[in-house]
Chain A
Amino acid sequence: MNICGRKASRLAKAATFLVILGMLLALANAVLTPKWLTGLYHSTYTVTGFYNEPRKHIDVLFLGSSRIECSVSPLSLWHAHGITSYSLATPLQSPLVSYYYLREALRYQDVQIVVIEPKLLYREQAVDEHEDSYRNTLDYMPLSLNKLRAAADIVSYSQSQTLLSYALPLLRYHSRWSNLTAGDLQLNLVQEHSLKGFVPVYTKLDASAPQDDEESDTLSFTPFGEDYMNRIAALCKEHGVTLVLVQPPDIVWNQGMSSQIDAWAASWDLPFVDYNTPENLAALDLVEETDFFHPSHVNIRGAEKLTAHLGDYLAEHYALPDHRGDPAYSKWDTDYAHYMQQKASRFGLSSS
């Protein structure tokens, strides 16, 4: 073999080796990355389901913490008004994550309204203390400039995390090798979220159980929270997207926060639907014993009430298209029917 031929052969060998290495790295990443499917919240499905939605099909996007995740049912919104929506709210969501998921949503969907929980204004960055709340949403975000920028922002606040570990999660999770279970080997995760990101909770408030909150109520925005909420507001403005602030009901809500959020909303000329005001609470007709499963989280009964009210509000104030009857959206009807079945069976089981 001449020199050129030998060089080409070696180049081909090296390239093949690198391809195999890349494939094995992808496999190791898939196995070692946590599936985030324990407990109530299945953030992985929320994220993979979002990316599996047909492009330009979602008109309303929900962002925020588990309060939003448990409060708004996109399928009920569909059934009542034909509005297509998706909830990308995740447990203890950081406004940093909300911001970058908004950027992603604007890439994939033609979003007209973004509904966000304004309590994110009070969120501390806590990138290391609550690393899980960042990882469980970013781990399954496909590699993109937005993901890298989100990771770079996180790393800038972190004492221990690296940018590379977001591109190659194996570097973060490698020590899980000793705790792997059969579930970790399940690589073809469900790609759809049939409830469009909604987490229905069928339990009721247990007054005797100790209730913890993720943060103490405070009367000052954090610089971190305000910075990212300002970015979100600016991005919506830039893209001509309507931003609506919706704060779900909270039994122990500090009314001082409502005034502060009102002021911030006014500064951006944003509507604020506060479900902690006496009027809105009365309109929802929530019953503490049956409509909450936690002092700051409604269960499915509360969620249905809140979704119905919010749907009326959105339909009344914004000219959102009604997609019912459109064959391109027929799957929404199927998903709604499944949701009804699931609800019926769960209520049947717990009909007490």
Chain B
Amino acid sequence: MPFTSFAFILFLAIVVTVYYVTPKRWQWVILLVASYVFYLFAGARFVPYLVFTTLTTYGAAIRLDRINKQYNAQLQSPAHELPREDRKVLKIAAERRKKRVLTLVLLLNFGLLAFVKYFNFIGDNINALLADLGAGAAAPQLGLLLPLGISFYTFQSMGYIIDVYRGKYEPERNPAKLALFISFFPQMVQGPIGRYDALAPQLAAPHSFDYERAKQGIQLIIWGYFKKLVIADRAAIFVDQVITYYTAYTGLYIPIAIILYAVQIYTDFSGGIDIATGAAQILGIDLAANFRRPYFAQTIAEYWRRWHITLGAWMRDYLYYPLALSKGLARIGKWLRKKVNNRFGVLFPALMAEAVVFLVIGIWHGPAWKYIAYGIYYGLLIVLGMLLQPLSEKATAALHIKTDCFSWRLWRVLRTFALTCFGRYLTRAPNLGDSYQMMKLTVTEFNPGILLDGSLYTLGLDAKNIRLLFAAILVLLVVSILQEKGYHIREKLQEQNLVFQWAIMLAGIFAVLIFGTYGSGYDATKFIYELF
């Protein structure tokens, strides 16, 4: 049931109605049932995966809690007051048992994710290697279908179990409530990746219908549809045409398509998140923010703090810090401080952690070498940025460049955007070989004439559609600038007269309905039937 289907809107309307007429103490049950119904629409065969993750996460959390309780009981029992040494032994034993449970549940769930997502990719590569060595195919190919949202709910549930392991909060004792936290339908398809302490209490809490909140939720949903259907899916027509036939559309066609792809992927992803957030908002639940105008970032590090924020935060808390603060890397850093360079030694654990994080982010994006290259690309940019920062600062000072002005900020924003666009060459091309060819054809052909001779109107979008696309992007830009300046648009809209509020909402609805890219299109020539 895609967000862009009428079925989803109908489903949401039914869920909202049933949710608010249900006695408050049972509202969370409605959400759980709705979430599983939503998931069943994706395919009943995927439900066991979700149940497996839920049950293993639940069981592990309860087991971790039991180990903690046993340990505390042993410590606090006055009849068995233990000497310090024995207490230390008990602690180490408890930690070891907890670590075993955590490792097992992480292996099971990330192993399942890796199996369904990467099995064929690994098999392909093994077979390719064997073929190069003259041997036949050895690794089998399985017809695996990726369960809906598995990357998102696996990360969400594993974040929860790590927090329980760390003693951040008590585990959820009601398996059905934990099931709801893992499967809450608005965020099931593409996130955001929620945190238990922020989301679970909201899911379990009673909610009364809030008219203003619901109105704001609907506004956000309309905005999400605008981004997805008016901008992303329209841009996709142009982008697909150029990238599919990039050998025919060389020179400027390619960077234009790549820039449009950058817009497409942002509006597609963030539009979906807006729909999810708006849907949750109507139900009285706030989801974590996942985007904060990423293309206004002045550095790559900042870009990743604005793009897919919940994935970045997950990586920071559960991968980056454990790595950067690990004893092993600290030891190597100390050695490097003495033997190589003090600054490099200090930075080394962070640099290594960043490199690993971005490699994992690359792998997370999909089972293909291009995504691994994408991760390495960003890892390198971050590491080089950190290492070259002093040099850059010195150069800026030596050249007397003003850094506290609009032009400098604009330059940094454009530079960062260009770097992210370069990364899109890696991910949008079918494979790394094609990425290279596309880059080559971008610089070896010079055809600025296509900007003026109407060639751009022949790539699936006619002149009117291209103009509409740019007008919609301009609307997005203006809204983003206002938001960047701290202007809360929906709150400001609430302060306006009713007629203005309604005019804006109706304009949004009709912009989506009329200018949205959906359905089978209208081919006037096909529809002109003359004789019979």
Interface residues of B in 517-532 (CB under 8 A from A): 518-522, 524, 526-532
The docked-state distance in angstroms from the alpha carbon of A28 to that of B511 is 11
Q: Chain A 283-296, CB within 8 Å of chain B: the 1/0 string?
A: 00000000000100
Give the residues in chain B near A38, CB-CB below 8 Å.
528, 530
CA distance A171 to B518 in the complex (A): 8
A34/B506 contact (C-beta < 8 A), A170-B513, A177-B515, A178-B464 known = no
Contact with B532, one of A20, A25, A91, A172 (Cβ below 8 angstroms)? A91
Interface residue B462 (Cβ < 8 Å from any Cβ of A): yes
Known: A38-B528, A65-B532, A164-B6. A178 touches B465 (CB 8 A): yes
> A136 to chain B: which residues have CB within 8 Å?
529
Q: Which chain B residue has the least Cβ–Cβ distance from A16? A: B502
Q: Which 4 A-B pairs have the closest CB atoms?
A: A178-B464, A214-B532, A160-B520, A92-B532
Q: Is the CB of B522 within 8 A of A172?
A: yes
B506 → chain A closest CB, angstroms: 6
Bound-state CA distance A25–B506 (Å) is 10
A160 to B531, CA, bound (A): 25
Q: Does B498 contact A (CB under 8 A)?
A: yes
Interfacial chain A residues near B423, Cβ < 8 Å: none
Given contacts A173-B522, A214-B531, 18 further A-B contacts (CB under 8 A): A21-B506, A21-B509, A39-B530, A40-B530, A66-B531, A131-B526, A160-B519, A162-B6, A162-B519, A165-B519, A174-B522, A175-B519, A177-B514, A177-B515, A178-B462, A178-B464, A212-B531, A214-B532
A32 contacts partner chain B, Cβ-Cβ < 8 Å = yes
Check if B510 is an interface residue, CB within 8 A of chain A: yes
CA A173 to CA B521, docked complex, whole Å: 7
A-B contact pairs, 9 of them (CB 8 A): A17-B505, A20-B506, A38-B530, A66-B532, A130-B529, A162-B519, A174-B522, A177-B514, A178-B464
CA distance A132 to B211 in the complex (A): 43
Do residues A28 and B514 form an inter-chain contact, with CB atoms below 8 A?
Answer: yes
The reply to whether the CB of B516 lies closer than 8 angstroms to some CB of chain A is yes
Residues on B with C-beta less than 8 A from A176 are: 522, 524
Query: Which residue from chain A places its CB closest to the CB of B465 in the assembled complex?
Result: A178
Chain B 457-483 interface mask (CB, 8 Å, partner A; 1/0)? 000001011001000000000000000
Alpha-carbon distance between A160 and B520 when the two chains are bound, in angstroms: 7
Within residues 274 to 308 of chain A, which ones have a CB less than 8 A from any CB in chain B?
294, 297
Question: What chain A residues lie within 8 Å of B506 (beta carbons)?
Answer: 20-21, 24
- A-B contacts at CB below 8 angstroms, number: 83
The residue of chain A having its C-beta at the shortest distance from the C-beta of B512 within the complex is A174
Chain B neighbourhood of A161, CB < 8 A: 520
B477-513 contacts to A (CB < 8 Å)? 498, 502, 505-506, 509-510, 513
Q: Report the Cα distance A132→B524, complex, angstroms.
A: 10
Smallest CB–CB gap between A301 and chain B, Å? 19
Give chain A's interface residues, CB within 8 Å of chain B. 10, 13, 17, 20-21, 24-25, 28, 32, 34, 38-40, 65-66, 91-92, 130-133, 135-136, 160-162, 164-165, 170-179, 212, 214, 294, 297
Label chain B's interface by main secondary structure. Answer: helix
- Most chain A beta carbons < 10 A, residue from B6, B502, B531: B531
Q: In the bound complex, how far is the Cα of B529 from the Cα of A130, in angstroms?
A: 9
- Among residues of A, the one whose C-beta sits closest to the C-beta of B527 is A132
Q: Which of B211, B505, B521, B532 has a CB less than 8 Å from the CB of A175?
A: B521
CA distance A173 to B524 in the complex (A): 10
Do residues B514 and A92 form an inter-chain contact, with CB atoms below 8 A? no
Nearest CB in chain A to that of B5: its residue: A162
The residue from A28, A40, A131, A172 contacting B531, defined by CB atoms under 8 A apart: A40
A174 to B6, Cβ gap below 8 A? no
Compute how far the CA of A252 lies from the CA of B526 in the bound complex, rounded to whole angstroms: 27
A131→B519 contact, CB < 8 A: no
Known: A160-B520, A179-B524. A132 touches B529 (CB 8 A): yes
Chain A contacts of B519 at CB under 8 A? 160, 162, 165, 171-172, 174-175
Q: Considering the chains assembled together, what is the distance between the CA atoms of A297 and B513 in angstroms?
A: 41
Contact B532 A132 (CB under 8 A): no
In the complex formed, the residue of B with least CB distance to A163 is B6
Knowing A32-B514, A175-B521, A177-B515, the reply to whether A132 touches B531 (Cβ < 8 A) is no
Is the beta-carbon distance between B516 and A174 smaller than 8 angstroms? yes
A-side contacts of B6, CB under 8 Å: 162, 164
Is the Cβ of A28 less than 8 Å from the Cβ of B513?
A: yes
Central interface residue in A38, A160, A170, A175, by most chain B CB within 10 Å: A175
Q: Judge whether B530 and A28 touch: CB under 8 Å.
A: no
B529 proximity list for chain A (CB < 8 A): 91-92, 130, 132-133, 136
A55 to chain B, nearest CB (A): 31
Q: How far is the CB of B500 from chain A (nearest CB, A)?
A: 13
Q: Which of A32, A39, A66 is within 8 Å of B528, CB to CB?
A: A39
* Separation of A131 and B506 alpha carbons in the complex (Å): 31
Cβ–Cβ contact A28 & B532, under 8 A: no
Complex formed: what's the CA distance from A32 to B516 in Å? 14
Q: Pick from B464, B509, B531: contact of A91, CB below 8 A.
A: B531
Interface residues of B in 393-451 (CB under 8 A from A): none
> Are the C-beta atoms of B502 and A20 separated by less than 8 Å?
yes
User: Distance (Å) between the CB of B236 and the closest chain A CB?
Assistant: 15
> Min CB distance, A258 to chain B, in Å?
20
Contact with A along B329-351 (1 / 0, CB 8 A): 00000000000000000000000
The complex places the Cα of A348 from the Cα of B502 at a distance, in Å, of: 58
A288 to B333 alpha-carbon distance, docked (Å): 99
> Given the complex, which residues of B lie within 8 Å of A91, measured CB to CB?
529, 531-532
Q: Are B527 and A34 in contact (CB under 8 A)?
A: yes
Inter-chain CA distance A9–B514, complex, in Å, is 31
B509: chain A residues within 8 A (beta carbon): 21
Q: Identify the closest chain A residue to B464 (Cβ).
A: A178
Q: How far is the CA of A133 from the CA of B532 in the complex (A)?
A: 9
Q: Which residues of A contact B520 (CB under 8 A)?
A: 160-161, 172
Chain A residue numbers with a CB within 8 Å of B521 are 175
Interchain CB contact under 8 A, B527 and A131: yes
Per-residue A-contact encoding for B126-139, CB less than 8 Å = 1, 0 else: 00000000000000
Residues of chain A within 8 A of B532, CB atoms compared? 65-66, 91-92, 133, 214
Chain A residues with CB below 8 A from B530, complex form? 38-40
- A211 CA to B473 CA, complexed, in Å: 49
B465 to chain A, nearest CB (A): 6
Residues of chain B with a CB closer than 8 A to A92's CB: 529, 532
- Residues of B with C-beta under 8 A to A135: 527
Which residues in A have their C-beta under 8 angstroms from that of B502?
17, 20
The answer to whether B211 and A174 touch across the interface, beta carbons within 8 angstroms, is no
* A65 surroundings in chain B (CB, below 8 A): 532
Residues of A within 8 Å of B510, CB to CB, are: 24, 28
List, in ascending order, chain B residues with CB within 8 A of A179's CB: 522, 524
A245 to chain B, nearest CB (A): 19
- Most interface-central of B506, B520, B524, B526 (chain A CB within 10 A): B520
Q: Are A170 and B531 in contact (CB under 8 A)?
A: no
Instruction: List A contacts of B462 (CB < 8 A).
Output: 178
| Distance of B472 from chain A, by nearest CB (Å) | 13
B contact residues around A214 at 8 Å (CB): 531-532
CA distance A20 to B498 in the complex (A): 13
The residue in chain B whose Cβ has the minimal distance to the Cβ of A296 is: B532
> Which chain B residues border A130 with CB–CB below 8 Å?
529
State the Cβ distance, B460 to closest chain A Cβ, in Å.
Answer: 13
Closest to B498 in A: A13
Q: How far is the CB of A166 from chain B (nearest CB, A)?
A: 13
**A170 proximity list for chain B (CB < 8 A):** 513-514
Inter-subunit contact A174/B527 (CB<8 Å): no
Q: Which residue of A lies closest to B529 (CB)?
A: A132
A175-B522 contact in complex given A10-B211, A24-B506, A164-B6, C-beta closer than 8 Å = yes
What residues of B have a CB within 8 angstroms of the CB of A40 in the complex?
530-531
